[in-house]
Copies of this chain bind each other. A is one copy, B any other.
Amino acid sequence: MKKIGIGIIGAGRIGKLHAKSITYHIPEAEIAIISDPVIDVAKAVAGELSIPQYVADYKEVLKCPNVDAVLICSPTDTHADIAIEAARLGKHIFCEKPVDREIEKIVETKKVVEACKVKMQIGFNRRFDHNHKRVRDLAKSGVLGDIHVVKITSRDPEPPPAAYVRVSGGLFLDMAIHDFDMARFQSGSEVEEVFACGAVLVDPAIGKEGDIDTAIVTLKFKNGALGVIDNSRKAVYGYDQRVEVFGSKGMASGENDCPTTVRVSTAAEVSSDKPQYFFLQRYMESFVDEMKAFIDAVRRDAPVPVGIDDGLKPVVIAKAALKSLRENRPVRCDEIYRF
């Protein structure tokens, strides 16, 4: 069977990461070309991974005849336009999250992608994390009964620079967006109403940009279940990523991954490893697995596991959370967008 030809748009951290996944772990695909406006960055990755062609302009990636699918790893504000162009050229799309910060833009992308009948997978890699996936598999299997409560703890080890939150859309759009996706994934349902409670406790500079760094978001799901997410921009002990699903027949809960299992017992105390430091450590395997799933969907002409609606809905929840925070009241998702 012919290998799937891949074009990568954006050779930064995440673009390179996906390039490695394909090169080292997915023999069914082959990278034909990589682009980056900073040509030396594209060149370096192409050199390291023996990618035959590198260019500055992403349009050359889209035009490359050996490309069956593109990975959009460029800055967020370019995602939607590139995706639309790619779709019109009949290329399958893997797009980093969020598709866009504006709902209208995502909806427009969705229309084009669907009209062009190409596949589009969104990079919500955490669904592929071994722990979170196991929790979901248990819930789906019925072992937990009806789902009553989904609890997500999601804390970063370090806050981003305050300047970043100005453009990123803030905590709900750049960070909690993953958790909103996780809430949908774990509940197997849709979020109807959101109440967000936030505070500036980590860094006053973040507050000056009009954002928060600590949040608790309560969710009501269509199936009647409740959800709660707690976020912090700074957990000094490392990346804290835990999911708990509680149901009528039981609970499944995942702990953080640690570098080793070793415990040291001394006269002073018993100590053990801190969690993995950040997402590159914790979620490395999930990045490989999401890419395998994408390639597999393309090859078998099957639906992608995380589609364009999965890219849209967390943005709606994030907007509802933002509105809830500002107006200090619960906000229904259909106040933001009606599906």
Contact = CB atoms under 8 A, between A and B. Distances in A.
A261 B273 CA distance: 14
A285 to B, nearest CB: 11
B260 A254 contact: yes
Contacts of A27: 48
A201 B224 contact: yes
A141 B165 CA distance: 33
A168 interface: no
A130 interface: yes
A46 interface: no
Contacts of A272: 269-272
A237 B266 contact: yes
Interface stretch (A93-101, A181-189, A213-221, A309-317): A213-221
B148 A201 contact: yes
A262 B228 contact: no
Contact of A230 (B24, B149, B266, B267): B149
A226 interface: yes
Interface stretch (A65-73, A114-122, A131-139): A131-139
B257 A252 contact: no
A248 interface: yes
A235 B246 CA distance: 8
Contact of A253 (B220, B253, B254, B263): B263
A250 to B, nearest CB: 4
A39 interface: no
B266 A149 contact: no
B248 A265 contact: no
A235 B251 contact: yes
Contacts of A255: 261-263
Given A261-B131, A328-B330, A266 B250 contact: yes
Contacts of A323: none
A137 B254 CA distance: 27
Given A201-B224, A216-B218, A329-B329, A252 B248 contact: no
A242 to B, nearest CB: 9
A266 B131 contact: no
Contacts of A249: 236, 266-267
A311 to B, nearest CB: 26
A280 interface: no
A273 B274 contact: no
A37 interface: no
Interface of A: 23-24, 27, 48, 130-131, 134-135, 138, 143-146, 148-149, 151, 153, 155, 195, 197-199, 201-202, 214-216, 218, 220, 224-228, 230, 232, 234-238, 240, 246, 248-267, 269-275, 328-330
Given A226-B230, A329-B330, 11 more contacts: A138-B264, A149-B232, A198-B226, A214-B226, A216-B228, A218-B228, A235-B251, A270-B271, A270-B272, A272-B272, A329-B329
Give me the 10 closest cross-chain CB pairs, A-B, nearest first.
Answer: A250-B266, A237-B265, A255-B261, A236-B267, A24-B24, A134-B262, A134-B260, A271-B271, A269-B271, A254-B262
